[in-house]
C-alpha cells in the first residue's frame, strides 16, 4: 500500500471520527464544515427513510433541532472500510450511538446501531463528506438509571 493511500485512509478515518466527536460536543456548526456545501444526508430507521437533507444549511438546521432535544450523546465508531479513487472515495463506518433526553421528567437513553455509507471528496488537499446514508439498523429506548 502506498504512502499516499495510507495518508488518505488516515485522513478519512480522522474525518469520520471528528464528525462524531463534534456531534457529542454539540458543535453542529463545526460539524457542518466537514461537509461539502451541497452535501446530501439520508437517515433511515430500519427500512423507512425519515430524512433526506440536501445542502449543508438544511443538514445544519436538522442536526441543530435534533441536538436541542438531547441532554448528551455518545458516538463510538468501529470499523471503517474505504475505497479510494483519486480525489474521491467511498466508505462504510459502523457506529454505536447513545442519546440521552428527557421524557416525563425522567432521563431516557436511546441506543442505536448505525451503519454509515459515505461518499467523500478531496478539495484543496482536504477531505469532506459529500453524501452520508445513515442506516439505524437497531434502535432501543429505555429509562436511564443513575449510577449508584
- Looking at the DSSP assignment, which residues form a beta bridge with residue 35? 129
Angstrom distance (rounded) from CA 141 to CA 79:
24
95, part of any domain: yes
Q: Can you give the three-state secondary structure of the chain, one letter per residue? A: CCHHHHHHHHHHHHHHHHHHHHHHCCCHHHHHCCEEEEEEEEEEECCEEEEEEECHHHHHHHHHHHHCCCCEEEEEEEEEEEEEECCEEEEEEEEEEEEEEEECCEEEEEEEEEEEEEEEEEECCEEEEEEEEEEEEEEEEEECCCCC
24, part of any domain: yes
CB atoms within 10 A of CB 123: 10
57, part of any domain: yes
Domain around 74: 3-143
Residue pLDDT, tens place only, 46-101: 999 999 999 999 999 999 999 999 999 999 999 999 999 999 999 999 999 999 99
Compute the average pLDDT of residues 130-134: 98
83, part of any domain: yes
Is the pLDDT at 37 greater than 70? The verdict is: yes
86, part of any domain: yes
CATH number at residue 107: 3.10.450.50
148, part of any domain: no
93, part of any domain: yes
How many domains, the chain? Answer: 1
Confidence category of residue 105, pLDDT binned at 50, 70, 90: confident
Name the more confident of 1 and 133. 133
101, part of any domain: yes
Compute the average pLDDT of residues 118-140: 97
Cross-sheet strand order for the sheet of 88-103: 48-54, 35-45, 126-143, 106-123, 88-103, 72-85
What pLDDT score was predicted for residue 148? 58
Q: Match 430500519 to its residue by C-alpha cell.
A: 46
Q: Are strands 35-45 and 48-54 parallel, antiparallel or unpaired?
A: antiparallel
Is the separation of the CB atoms in 23 and 128 below 8 Å?
A: no
Amino acid at each position: 500500500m502506498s504512502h499516499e493511500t495510507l495518508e488518505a485512509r488516515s485522513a478519512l478515518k480522522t474525518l469520520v471520527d471528528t464528525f462524531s466527536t463534534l456531534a457529542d460536543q454539540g458543535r453542529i456548526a463545526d460539524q457542518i464544515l466537514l461537509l461539502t456545501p451541497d452535501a446530501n444526508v439520508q437517515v433511515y430507521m430500519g427500512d423507512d427513510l425519515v430524512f433526506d437533507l440536501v445542502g449543508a444549511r438544511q443538514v445544519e438546521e436538522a442536526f441543530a433541532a435534533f441536538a436541542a432535544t438531547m441532554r448528551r450523546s455518545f458516538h463510538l465508531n468501529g470499523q471503517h472500510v474505504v475505497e479510494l479513487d483519486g480525489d474521491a472515495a467511498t466508505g462504510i463506518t459502523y457506529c454505536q450511538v447513545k442519546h440521552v433526553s428527557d421524557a416525563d421528567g425522567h432521563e431516557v437513553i436511546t441506543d442505536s446501531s448505525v451503519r454509515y455509507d459515505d461518499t467523500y471528496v478531496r478539495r484543496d488537499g482536504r477531505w469532506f463528506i459529500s453524501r452520508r446514508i445513515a442506516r439505524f439498523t437497531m434502535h432501543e429506548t429505555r429509562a436511564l438509571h443513575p449510577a449508584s
